[in-house]
Amino acid sequence: MTGKATTVKLSGGGRKMPYVGLGTYEVKGEEVGVALRAALECGYRHVDTAASYQNEEAIGDVLQEWLTSGKVTREELFITTKLPFIGTRAGDVAKFLQKSLQKLRVSYVDLYLIHSPVGFMGQHDEDHKPVDSEGNRVVDPNTDLESTWRAMEDQVECGRAHTIGISNFNSVQINRIMKGCRIPPANLQVEAQIYHQQKDLKAFCHKLGISFCAYSPLGAPYLTNGTGDRPPPLKHPRVTSIATRLKRTPAQVLLRFLIQLDMIVIPKSSNPDRIRENFQVFDFELSQEDMSSLEALDCGKEGRIVKLEESRRHHEYPFDIPF
């Protein structure tokens, strides 16, 4: 992607998804309220959340403020939420989406994602991280992605979700969905950052008309030593050098890099100044030389930071194949 386009047209109805959204993973309560207000004030219209983040209610309160005051219309907003790990079953899809809609205080979401191909078995609907007596995740041995997808399609047909998609799926799992679907996935959300650029998976999705959204686009700085021996992406000399020369922040360089690779980005922050800076990525471009320099930092699978190790015991664990 080049130029100053700020949205991506999704397959299946032509809904436009903003290239930059506010990520809200593990931002809760008053903190997420402050973050979302700051984001909306500086122009964000794309909000990414999930049932398992346990912040939909706080997000819904802010959205309701803005909608009732007339500061924004529902049509201007793009709201993404996700079916939780404990709901990855056909019979639970409608229930969990309805719960999310009630908390978000909206009648539909613009995009509903299966959060993971891995299913957990919670003891109740808020038991998002169920563990057994030995501290292991309680996985669902009967997870059936194809039947879960059919239930996701029902949510589009009844108007609760305008589009549907998937998160943390690999190419084999996506192929299985594509083989029997009535409504193809409109979006795939996965980790993508300079060390893990997901080139093969993105090319695979592009051929299928599936848009590509990068979570942790700044390299998940909240994870301790997530990059191993490599410097955090925000501190890599190549990134900081480009940022200094262009008079931009390292975060703006990292986000612009992914946007020019035609990826939607959802940087997480609760700092209003950083939230504003992260949105200021449409008034400059990286040169081909800078792009090539950053593309050369790709480490393939070895660059992955978010590994979902707690899901490894599940038969649908997605990260053991090349892409």
What percent of the chain stands above pLDDT 70? 98
Task: Give yes or no for residue 4 having a pLDDT over 80.
Answer: no
Residue in 261, 264, 321 with CA at minimum distance from that of residue 117: 321
Please state, rounded to an integer, the average pLDDT across all residues of the chain.
95
Exactly one of 19, 53, 112, 215 is catalytic; which is it? 53
In a domain, 321, yes or no: no
Domain count, the chain: 1
Coil, strand, or helix at residue 247? coil
Residue 311 one-letter amino acid: S
* Dihedral sign for Cα atoms in the order 168, 208, 19, 94: negative
d(CA 27, CA 37) in angstroms, rounded, equals 13
What percent of the chain stands above pLDDT 90? 92
Q: What is the CATH number of the domain that holds 171?
A: 3.20.20.100
Domain that holds residue 111: 7-311
In a domain, 92, yes or no: yes
- pLDDT, one tens digit per residue, over 159-188 is 999 999 999 999 999 999 999 899 999 999
Task: Give yes or no for residue 2 having a pLDDT over 50.
Answer: no
Task: Give yes or no for residue 226 having a pLDDT over 80.
Answer: no
Active site residue 108: no
- pLDDT, one tens digit per residue, over 74-130 is 999 999 999 999 999 999 999 999 999 999 999 999 999 999 999 999 999 999 999
In a domain, 1, yes or no: no
What's the pLDDT score for residue 14? 75
In a domain, 317, yes or no: no
Residue 320 one-letter amino acid: D
In a domain, 322, yes or no: no
What's the pLDDT score for residue 220? 84
Residue in 94, 47, 54 with CA at minimum distance from that of residue 72: 47
- pLDDT, one tens digit per residue, over 40-54 is 999 999 999 999 999
Local confidence band at 3 (pLDDT 50, 70, 90 cut-offs): low
